[in-house]
């Protein structure tokens, strides 16, 4: 029900405005700080009138933190995570919703459990696995005595090793393996009428054909929503990239911001740090603005 | 074109059986309508023919080939769904041509066949539209086009007209009939609407509770219903049923207040029977006329072309349909008269039709 009373209208607008100010204020302060020179930015209190060094600070931040390649790294990682997540979520949800096979419920719960174990909780084992993807298999071979047997028989010592540290795959893959997207898709697939599935069967389409020709086009909005959320989430990752990129060439923009934050006893170049923050903030902002239309539609999911 | 042979087909889910051994032969080119109340298993039977439901027992053969284990696409059936089930993201042309695309038909031939189907269904100007931009009747036609384009051996219709408004339903009904006459493909049409069933069917299959009650032409089903269920289900308003008991020289009706002189024909004295008479077979006469039953008018329903008059016959409700210009007032007394040839008799126990009676004119008791 929509009520129309002038007082309530005014009141809700006040609340909205307060919320808007709360959200926008930090950005305004950051932008103003990024435009000051070293002296002005360290004034207490800092002047809230914009200074004149904005572009200079941006340039300094860009070169100091080597943001060009770092932004590219971040972009590859975030886009990879978003794309991988969309693919794997759609496939897992398709399997859970449209097929009846033994162990389906068990697999469903396995996926569900990953929701309760975010990356931060299992970061140590995840690191170990990424450091050597084959280490679980090596362990199995060692424990069962198979590696001993192989060594005795062939004289070859089994030592499996495949490291993903300092690689894009290492950055991306562990972030893909979570369940959030699966459930978003599952909810959507459950709303697709059964008759549509049956019509496709009558038309001769097999499971994969149905998935590609009917389900994926229908879930465009969901894809956009999930892709956007995952892009932002991956872009803002800090702990994981910091942990596995020991080599500068694979570092991401968000972790590199650290370079710009003044050390204790160093020159307090907060204007440069703020300028760097603005640069790093820009790509996700562009993605959100560009995807906004589909994004909202994908989340409200009441297409008529 | 193909014949369908259904032998002792059963369907059961985990807890309940919904189809109990159905036998049915559908000739090549025939238009068969399966009629029944909701939950009678008619849709399930259709979906088993289509291959959308597993068959729990018995066999279904199309053109002599048992199709129990075949995928829907291998059976040569096309289906029109109740909610049309059009692909919302595809244009009309893509919807119609999708099965050909899946089958790998080259684009040029596909376009040509889509055009041909669209011409038949008068959809040519709509080919680029999305289903969302179509009216109900147009969507229905697209769904038919999607079924037609494959030139299937069998057309299956699952209550395809129930989402249309009354006027459009009548129009689509005659279009389906015309289309069948032209294509002459074997068709199975499921509905709960008896008018639809009567007008479309070459042969009517009446189902109830997972069993076939009667198979016959619409005329046969109407004039010689095989069971009490069919008698009351087919025809509107429903056939009047009066409970009676066999006596030495006839029947006593309504707990003995009325009598009917009929030949006993082998039935034991005391056997309970149901006597049916269609509302449209009853004539209204002046009260007290010899050979007529007197009854009190409860309610008059105006239908425009005629009237349905509900009367009270010694506590039992009884309806009369008349197209004569009589307008009895509620509460007044009327006489009911009918020919003995129009009476139907059913066993009270099993509900099956009893043919042996030859009725004579009813006479008021004592």
- H or E element, residue A271: helix A270-300
List the single range of A120-124, A164-168, A222-226, A229-233 with lowest mean pLDDT: A164-168
Q: How far apart are CA A47 and CA A146, in angstroms?
A: 70
**Predicted local distance difference test score (pLDDT) of residue A301:** 53
Please tell me which residue of chain B has the smallest CA distance to A208. B102
Please tell me which residue of chain B has the smallest CA distance to A205. B102
Q: How far apart are CA B180 and CA B178, in angstroms?
A: 5
Q: Give average pLDDT by consecutive 10-residue segment, chain B, 366 residues.
A: 87 88 91 91 91 89 89 87 89 91 90 90 88 88 89 89 85 87 89 90 92 92 91 88 79 71 68 87 84 85 87 85 84 85 84 69 46
Q: Nearest-CA distance from A218 to chain B in Å?
A: 7
**Predicted local distance difference test score (pLDDT) of residue A253:** 83
Is residue B53 within 8 Å of B222, Cβ to Cβ? no
The whole-model pTM stands at 0.77
Q: Nearest-CA distance from A213 to chain B in Å?
A: 9
pLDDT tens, residue by residue, A124-167: 888 888 887 777 777 787 788 777 777 777 777 767 677 777 78
Give CB contacts under 8 A, 24+ apart, made by A189-194: A189/A93, A189/A94, A189/A97, A189/A98, A189/A215, A189/A219, A190/A97, A191/A301, A192/A218, A193/B83, A193/B85
Q: How far apart are CA B165 and CA B40, in angstroms?
A: 24
What band does A303 get if pLDDT is binned at 50, 70 and 90?
very low
Find the CB nearest B102 among A209, A217, A220: A209
B50, B82, B88, B91: which to substitute to probe chain A, counting the most A Cβ within 10 Å? B88
Q: How far apart are CA B246 and CA B119, in angstroms?
A: 62
Write the Ramachandran bin of A85: left for phi over 0, alpha for psi from -120 to 50, otherwise beta: alpha
**Predicted local distance difference test score (pLDDT) of residue A104:** 85
Give the Cβ contact number of residue A209 at 10 Å. Answer: 15
Q: Which residues of A touch B52 (CB under 8 A)?
A: 198, 201-202
Q: Which residues of A touch B89 (CB under 8 A)?
A: 214, 217-218, 220
List the single range of A82-86, A110-114, A225-229, B33-37 with lowest mean pLDDT: A110-114
Question: Please, what CATH class does the domain formed by B4-232 belong to?
Answer: alpha beta
Whether residue B52 and residue A203 make contact (CB cut-off 8 A), yes or no, is: no
**Predicted local distance difference test score (pLDDT) of residue A204:** 86
Q: Which residue did the predictor score with more confidence, A194 or B356?
A: A194
Q: Classify residue A212 by its DSSP letter.
A: I
**Predicted local distance difference test score (pLDDT) of residue A304:** 39
What ipTM, to 2 d.p.?
0.79
| Fold category of B237-364 in CATH | OB fold (Dihydrolipoamide Acetyltransferase, E2P) (2.40.50)
Q: How far apart are CA B227 and CA B224, in angstroms?
A: 9
Q: Which residues of A touch B87 (CB under 8 A)?
A: 196, 199-200, 214
**Predicted local distance difference test score (pLDDT) of residue B348:** 85
Q: Six-digit token pair at B251?
A: 């029947």
Q: How far apart are CA B71 and CA B51, in angstroms?
A: 6
Is residue A111 within 8 Å of A179, Cβ to Cβ? yes
Q: Where are the domains of chain B?
A: 4-232, 237-364
- Which residues contact residue B296 at a Cβ distance below 8 angstroms, ignoring those fewer than 6 apart? B311, B312, B331, B332, B333
B13 part of contact set with chain A, CB < 8 Å: no
Whether residue B85 and residue A199 make contact (CB cut-off 8 A), yes or no, is: yes
pLDDT tens, residue by residue, A19-32: 999 999 988 888 88
The percentage of residues in chain A with a pLDDT greater than 70, rounded to a whole number, is 95
Whether residue A199 and residue B50 make contact (CB cut-off 8 A), yes or no, is: no
Q: Where are the domains of chain A?
A: 6-118+178-300
B72 part of contact set with chain A, CB < 8 Å: yes
pLDDT tops 70 at residue A2: no
Find the CB nearest B81 among A195, A204, A209: A195
Whether residue B52 and residue A213 make contact (CB cut-off 8 A), yes or no, is: no
- Segment A211-232 shows an average pLDDT of 88
**Predicted local distance difference test score (pLDDT) of residue B365:** 41
Nearest to B154 by CA among B59, B286, B60, B275: B60
Whether residue A199 and residue B146 make contact (CB cut-off 8 A), yes or no, is: yes
Q: Classify residue A78 by its DSSP letter.
A: H
C-alpha distances out from residue A154 to A135, A141, A146, A157, B141, Å: 21, 15, 12, 8, 71
The CATH number that domain A6-118+178-300 falls under is 1.10.3720.10
Helix, strand, coil abundance in chain A, percent, nearest 5? 75, 0, 25
Q: Which residues of A touch B150 (CB under 8 A)?
A: 203
Q: Which residues of A touch B103 (CB under 8 A)?
A: 204
**Angle at CA of residue B230, ends B44 and B299, nearest 5°:** 120
Please tell me which residue of chain A has the smallest CA distance to B81. A195
Q: How far apart are CA A111 and CA A105, in angstroms?
A: 10
**Predicted local distance difference test score (pLDDT) of residue A158:** 67
Whether residue B79 and residue A209 make contact (CB cut-off 8 A), yes or no, is: no
Please tell me which residue of chain A has the smallest CA distance to B133. A304
Q: Cis before residue A45, ω within 30 degrees of 0?
A: yes
**Predicted local distance difference test score (pLDDT) of residue A15:** 95
For chain A, the C-alpha Rg in angstroms (whole number) is 25
Whether residue B79 and residue A198 make contact (CB cut-off 8 A), yes or no, is: yes
- Which residues contact residue B304 at a Cβ distance below 8 angstroms, ignoring those fewer than 6 apart? none
Q: B301 - beta bridge partners?
A: B308
Q: How far apart are CA A206 and CA A215, in angstroms?
A: 12
- Residues 226-245 in B contacting A (C-alpha not used; CB under 8 Å): none
Q: Which residues of A touch B50 (CB under 8 A)?
A: 202
The percentage of residues in chain B with a pLDDT greater than 70, rounded to a whole number, is 94
């Amino acid at each position: 029900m929509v009520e129309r009373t002038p007082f309530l209208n005014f009141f809700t607008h006040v609340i909205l405005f307060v919320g808007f100010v709360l959200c926008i204020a930090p950005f305004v302060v950051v932008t103003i700080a990024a435009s000051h020179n070293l002296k002005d930015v360290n004034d207490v209190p800092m002047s809230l009138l914009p200074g004149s060094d904005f572009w200079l600070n941006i340039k300094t931040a860009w070169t100091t933190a080597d943001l060009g390649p770092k932004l590219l790294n971040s972009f590859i990682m975030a886009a990879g995570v978003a794309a991988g997540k969309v693919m794997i979520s759609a496939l897992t949800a398709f399997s859970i919703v449209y097929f009846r096979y033994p162990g389906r419920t068990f697999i469903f719960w396995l996926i569900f459990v990953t929701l309760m174990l975010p990356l931060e909780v299992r970061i140590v084992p995840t690191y170990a696995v990424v450091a050597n993807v084959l280490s679980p298999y090596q362990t199995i071979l060692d424990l069962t005595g198979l590696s001993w047997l192989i060594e005795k028989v062939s004289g070859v010592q089994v030592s499996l090793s495949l490291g993903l540290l300092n690689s894009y795959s290492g950055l991306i893959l562990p972030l893909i393996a979570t369940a959030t997207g699966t459930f978003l898709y599952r909810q959507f697939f459950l709303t697709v009428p059964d008759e549509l599935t049956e019509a496709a069967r009558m038309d001769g389409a097999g499971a994969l054909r149905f998935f590609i020709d009917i389900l994926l086009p229908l879930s465009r909005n969901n894809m956009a929503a999930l892709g956007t959320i995952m892009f932002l989430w991956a872009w803002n990752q800090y702990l994981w990239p910091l942990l596995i990129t020991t080599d500068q060439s694979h570092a991401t923009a968000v972790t590199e911001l650290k370079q710009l934050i003044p050390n204790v006893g160093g020159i307090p170049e907060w204007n440069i740090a703020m300028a760097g923050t603005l640069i790093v903030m820009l790509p996700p902002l562009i993605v959100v603005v560009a995807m906004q239309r589909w994004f909202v539609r994908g989340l409200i999911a009441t297409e008529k | 074109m193909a014949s369908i042979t259904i032998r002792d087909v059963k369907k059961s889910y985990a807890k309940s059986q919904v189809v109990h051994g159905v036998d049915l032969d559908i000739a090549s080119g025939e238009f068969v309508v399966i009629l029944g109340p909701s939950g009678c298993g008619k849709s399930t039977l259709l979906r088993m023919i289509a291959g959308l439901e597993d068959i729990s027992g018995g066999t279904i053969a199309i053109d002599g080939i048992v199709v129990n284990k075949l995928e829907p696409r291998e059976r040569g059936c096309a289906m029109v769904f109740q909610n049309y089930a059009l692909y919302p993201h595809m244009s009309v042309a893509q919807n119609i041509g999708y099965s050909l695309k899946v089958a790998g038909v080259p684009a040029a031939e596909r376009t040509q066949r889509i055009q041909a189907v669209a011409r038949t269904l008068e959809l040519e100007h709509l080919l680029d539209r999305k289903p969302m931009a179509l009216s109900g009747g147009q969507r229905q036609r697209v769904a038919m086009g999607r079924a037609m384009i494959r030139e299937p051996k069998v057309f299956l219709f699952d209550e395809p007209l129930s989402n249309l408004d009354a006027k459009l339903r009548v129009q689509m009904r005659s279009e389906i009939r015309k289309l069948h006459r032209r294509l002459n493909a074997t068709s199975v049409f499921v509905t709960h609407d008896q008018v639809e069933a009567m007008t479309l069917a070459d042969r009517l299959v009446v189902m109830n509770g997972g069993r076939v009650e009667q198979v016959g032409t619409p005329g046969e089903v109407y004039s010689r219903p095989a069971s009490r269920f069919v008698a009351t289900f087919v025809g509107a308003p429903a056939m009047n049923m009066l409970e009676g008991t066999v006596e030495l020289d006839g029947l006593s009706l309504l707990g003995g207040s009325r009598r009917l002189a009929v030949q006993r024909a082998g039935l034991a004295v005391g056997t309970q029977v149901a006597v049916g008479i269609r509302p449209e077979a009853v004539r209204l006469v002046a009260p007290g006329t010899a050979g007529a039953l007197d009854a009190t008018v409860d309610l008059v329903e105006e239908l425009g072309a005629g009237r349905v008059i509900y009367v009270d016959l010694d506590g039992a409700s009884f309806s009369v349909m008349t197209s004569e210009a009589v307008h009895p007032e509620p509460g007044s007394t009327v006489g009911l008269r009918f020919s003995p040839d129009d009476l139907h008799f059913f066993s009270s126990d099993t509900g099956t039709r009893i043919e042996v009676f030859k009725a004579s004119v009813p006479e008021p008791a004592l």
